[in-house]
Amino acid sequence: MGSLGLETDGLDSDTYLTLGIKESGKGVFGAPRILSILSSLLEQSIQKNEILLETIQDKGTATSFHGLRVPPISIQKYIDRMFKYAGCSPSCFVIAYIYVDRFLQKTNIHLTSLNVHRLLITSVMVAAKFIDDA
């Protein structure tokens, strides 16, 4: 049975190196670039959704993922912290983003600053179990 990990050998290997998904052998300093791209996408989605919810005077659907107040840590710092301490591969975060996106598409929930941290940690945990566990 083959590995479910990301295959980075091929013609587009430079793309993987640029995004920080594959190490160049010289060592990676700091977080891979893909993590900052993902945090930017999440932050843009949150801004768009919160403006939408304000204009329609809707609080949104409260779920078990919603917190009572906005966490004091930014999404970028939260993702960097998870990367540093959880030992997940960068591809795990890409899969986690896909999980969050699919969850939001299948439910009537908007991504906001009250639920993004909990959705993110849950999806990273599931992605890590799928990709990084031996």
Q: Tens of pLDDT along 54-98?
A: 787 666 666 667 666 778 899 999 999 999 998 889 999 999 999
With a cut of 60, say whether residue 28 has pLDDT above it.
no
Report the percentage of the chain scoring pLDDT > 70: 70
Q: Which distant-in-sequence residues (6+ apart) come within 8 Å of 62 by Cβ?
A: none
Whole-number pLDDT of residue 7? 47
- Least-confidence region, from 4-8, 80-84, 116-120: 4-8
Whole-number pLDDT of residue 97? 94
CA distance 44 to 72: 18
What is the torsional sign of CA 8, 9, 10, 11? positive
Whole-number pLDDT of residue 27? 47
- Least-confidence region, from 4-8, 14-18, 64-68: 4-8
Whole-number pLDDT of residue 6? 44
